[in-house]
Amino acid sequence: MDSSSYTVNAGQSVTFTARVIGGTTAPTGSVTFKASGNAIAGCVSVAVSNGQALCTTAGLAGGTYQVTGDYSGDATYTAGVAGPITQTVIGAPAPMKLGIDSSRYSAKVGQPVTFTVTITDGYPPTGTIRFTDGSNAIAGCDSVNASSGTATCTTKTLARGSHAIRGWYSGDTKNGAGVAGPITETIH
């Protein structure tokens, strides 16, 4: 079992090679590549050719993985496992820009205010935004889908006073977590 690079950045391609060594008959069958026990997408049942199977992926999120190649066996050779090898994926790249805005920065008690977090640059985001007032989640806005690159939170429950509003991005397999803000919302 081998890796084209044992340390890569999230979103960067890496190629794993499982070698199946036989006797006088060339091995056939297939190899399923796994990262810490989970099949790697696009690398399931890869045919063995010339004594090896290759898996190229850019889909591993930040973390450390034990990568194996599970050989299916064939009419001549029994099943087996190549590896594990240790693959390190360095954090997900952070979005290049994460911003937050308010529909109005000053409002009366009970008046609705909409906060919008925008994620630009980076990879097309998935994940969620958690809107907070100081350190407290804003009711109904603690897990807003960010798949379009924006997430909004409308609330009319802010009390009188000054509020530090933030949008916390969860990150995903290709984008790092981040925070937008704070912006100051004043309720009269």
Q: What is the CATH number of the domain that holds 15?
A: 2.60.40.10
Provide φ and ψ at 24, rounded to 5°.
-75, -25
* Confidence at residue 85, expressed as pLDDT on a 0 to 100 scale: 97
Looking at the fold, whether 118 and 85 belong to one and the same domain comes out as: no
- How large a percentage of the chain has pLDDT more than 70? 95
Tell me what the mean pLDDT of segment 127-154 comes to. Answer: 92
pLDDT band at 59 (very low <50, low <70, confident <90, very high): confident
Looking at the fold, whether 104 and 159 belong to one and the same domain comes out as: yes
Tell me what the mean pLDDT of segment 38-64 comes to. Answer: 92
Looking at the fold, whether 72 and 103 belong to one and the same domain comes out as: no
Looking at the fold, whether 101 and 183 belong to one and the same domain comes out as: yes
pLDDT band at 170 (very low <50, low <70, confident <90, very high): confident
Q: Which of 48, 70, 90 is at the close of a domain?
A: 90
Q: Which of 69, 90, 111 is at the close of a domain?
A: 90
Contacts of 99 (CB under 8 A, 6+ apart): 117, 118, 120, 180
Tell me what the mean pLDDT of segment 38-53 comes to. Answer: 95
Looking at the fold, whether 55 and 109 belong to one and the same domain comes out as: no
Looking at the fold, whether 76 and 109 belong to one and the same domain comes out as: no
Looking at the fold, whether 133 and 170 belong to one and the same domain comes out as: yes
The token pair that represents 182 in the structure block: 């704070």
Residue 166, pLDDT > 70, answer yes
Q: Which of 61, 90, 119 is at the close of a domain?
A: 90
Residue 14, pLDDT > 70, answer yes
Gyration radius of the chain's alpha carbons? 24
Q: Which of 21-30, 85-94, 115-124, 142-151 has the lowest mean pLDDT?
A: 85-94
Q: How far out from the chain centre does Cα 9 lie?
A: 12
Q: Which of 24-28, 93-97, 131-135, 173-177 has the lowest mean pLDDT?
A: 93-97
Q: How far out from the chain centre does Cα 130 lie?
A: 17
Q: What's the CA gap between 149 and 146, in Å, rounded? A: 5
pLDDT digits (tens, 9 = 90+) for 87-116: 998 876 555 588 999 999 999 999 999 999
Looking at the fold, whether 75 and 117 belong to one and the same domain comes out as: no
* Confidence at residue 122, expressed as pLDDT on a 0 to 100 scale: 67
Looking at the fold, whether 17 and 83 belong to one and the same domain comes out as: yes
Looking at the fold, whether 84 and 113 belong to one and the same domain comes out as: no
Q: Which amino acid is at 111?
A: Q
The token pair that represents 75 in the structure block: 């009419």
Tell me what the mean pLDDT of segment 1-30 comes to. Answer: 92
Looking at the fold, whether 80 and 135 belong to one and the same domain comes out as: no
Count CA atoms closer than 13 A to 50's CA, side-chain side.
Answer: 2
User: Is the model more confident about 78 or about 170?
Assistant: 78
Tell me what the mean pLDDT of segment 40-57 comes to. Answer: 95
> Which residues span the domain enclosing 75?
2-90
Domain count along the chain: 2
* Confidence at residue 165, expressed as pLDDT on a 0 to 100 scale: 97
Q: What's the CA gap between 88 and 111, in Å, rounded? A: 49
Looking at the fold, whether 67 and 101 belong to one and the same domain comes out as: no
Tell me what the mean pLDDT of segment 68-84 comes to. Answer: 95
Q: How far out from the chain centre does Cα 79 lie?
A: 32
Tell me what the mean pLDDT of segment 159-180 comes to. Answer: 87
